[in-house]
Amino acid sequence: WLIIDVHPPLFNILLWGWNHLVPYPHEVWLRVFPFLFTVCSLAVSYFLFPKAYGKTARFLFLGCVAVMWHNIIFGAYARSYVLLLLVSIVITLVSLRILDCFKNTRPGTRQDYMWLFGAGVVAAWTHYFGLLLFSVCVFLLFLAALHFKQKKTVLVVGSGVVFLLAGIWLVPNFLH
């Protein structure tokens, strides 16, 4: 039921929707769509940055994301890389927030887990490397949960759901 393609289809599905929402024939409107993900990556960098690191670190990180070559260049191309960068920032920052909770002998918040697993699904349906980054972050969080004696049920079940949803696209494409 999905088109056989090398890359997961989420960005193309979103771009198709954008082209029907904004049906202007000029190429500029096509390039506005990935630019919106660039703007979102700045907002996510500000709002999801762990408070434990302070405001100076938050603004330094925000500045680095703002001038990052990948964010600027891929923000002008109708390719999935800018969406991958956005969800990579979400996965990384939320993983740091959960790790800070573990260090303070608290479980991660429900909101952080929802961000992590939601971004994991989006990453898996955007690019293979998104699923790889999600897998590495969840594995490291699992090791941290072992070290800090935290419950691991949410990590195991949530990542299992992400891998199951990723498999909906991966398995048929690998079997073809």
The set of long-range contacts for 141-150, using a CB threshold of 8 Å and a minimum separation of 24, is 141/95, 141/98, 141/99, 141/102, 144/99, 144/102, 145/102, 147/102, 148/102, 148/103, 148/105, 149/105, 150/102, 150/105, 150/107, 150/108
Provide the pLDDT for residue 1: 44
Instruction: Give, as one character, the DSSP assignment of residue 5.
Output: -
Instruction: Please choose, from the candidates 92, 71, 95, 93, the residue with its C-alpha nearest in 3D space to the C-alpha of residue 83.
Output: 71
Longest Cα separation, the chain:
56
DSSP 8-52: -SHHHHHHHHHHHHS---SHHHHHHHHHHHHHHHHHHHHHSS-GG
86 vs 172, residue with greater confidence = 86
Provide the pLDDT for residue 5: 64
pLDDT per position as a tens digit, 29-73? 888 999 999 999 999 999 999 999 999 999 999 999 999 998 899
* Mean pLDDT calculated for residue range 13-38: 89
* Cα separation values, 74 from 45, 69, 139, Å: 17, 8, 29
Provide the pLDDT for residue 4: 59
Chain centroid to CA 45: how far?
Answer: 12
pLDDT per position as a tens digit, 120-142? 999 999 999 999 999 999 999 99
Provide the pLDDT for residue 169: 85
pLDDT per position as a tens digit, 95-116? 999 999 999 999 999 999 999 9
Provide the pLDDT for residue 27: 84
